[in-house]
Amino acid sequence: MSGATPKSDRTRAHVREVAIRMLRDVGYERTTMRGIAEAAGVSTGNAYYHFASKDALVQELYLEVQHEHAALAAPVLAAGGTLTDRLRGVWHAGVDAFEPFHAFGAGFLSVAIRPGSDASPFSAASGPAREASRALFEEVVAGAEPAVPSRLRAELPELLWLAQLGVTLFWVHDTSPGRARTRRLVEQGAALVGHVVRLSRLPVARGVVDDALRLVRAVHPERPGPEPDEATARRLPESPATEEGTA
């Protein structure tokens, strides 16, 4: 990227835009770097100069969709509201943002879900898009009124992001008009999450909340271990640190 000039930046942006449109309109299998270069009016070598592979352009598509999701979710996140309101709004915004890519998603799911795939939402390559998506759910939780109980605040965004993956998996398979089934799922899902979080305030629900937190930790994909300080900060006083000893 050294030596980038305004002209080079414009070429990069143009190739990126053409690639996203092509992936969206003709699908992953039928999109090639050569086809992208031709449609963008640049040499194949030039396209490769800006993007190492078709898969790198899929990551650009991911980022574009996340950008759109964030834009559509912004009014919801600025408006305050309960956890349920905010989550419902952000999930609906996601269905709206993803919609142009439904056919792409139906074809691409096979690639993205292959174990070890760079296109997996858990891969290192998907890090930037993943962080953009997670940030939305951080905001959902941080701005909720009434406030989410402190013992849930650290883990809930991660859980909601995992739920977003579930919603996306459901959406890819949803052929109902207007994605009506996905709309119902996010309505009911947001109501359930809000209800569970309200219930978690009661002492009687303490054990269930602890179980749920342990489950989230158990399912979390391996990732570079946090620094000791960070690990301590994430382990709130109320949550017993027994999750390692259960298997």
Report the interface residues with its own copies, using CB under 8 A: 106, 109-111, 113-115, 170, 172-173, 175-176, 180-181, 183-185, 187-189, 191-192, 195-196, 199, 202, 204-205, 207-208, 211-212, 214-215, 218-219, 222, 243, 246-247
38 Cβ contact list (under 8 Å, min separation 6): none
CB 161 to its own copies: min, Å: 16
CB 169 to its own copies: min, Å: 8
- Residue 153 vs 183, nearer CB to its own copies: 183
Q: What is the DSSP string of 195-209?
A: HHHHHTTSGGGHHHH
Please give the Cα distance from 183 to 8 (Å, whole number): 42
Residues 168 and 111: beta-carbon distance below 8 Å: no
Please give the Cα distance from 184 to 192 (Å, whole number): 12
- Residue 75 vs 178, nearer CB to its own copies: 178
CB 201 to its own copies: min, Å: 11
Please give the Cα distance from 222 to 237 (Å, whole number): 24
- Residue 36 vs 95, nearer CB to its own copies: 95
- Residue 27 vs 39, nearer CB to its own copies: 27
- Residue 4 vs 241, nearer CB to its own copies: 241
Coil, strand or helix at 58 = helix
The first and second tokens of residue 122, run together, are: 């858990």
The first and second tokens of residue 169, run together, are: 């998996």
CB 172 to its own copies: min, Å: 6
The first and second tokens of residue 93, run together, are: 């915004």
CA-based R_g, the chain, Å: 20
CB 176 to its own copies: min, Å: 8
CB 68 to its own copies: min, Å: 22
- Residue 30 vs 195, nearer CB to its own copies: 195
Interior angle at CA 62, CA 21 and CA 161, nearest 5 = 145
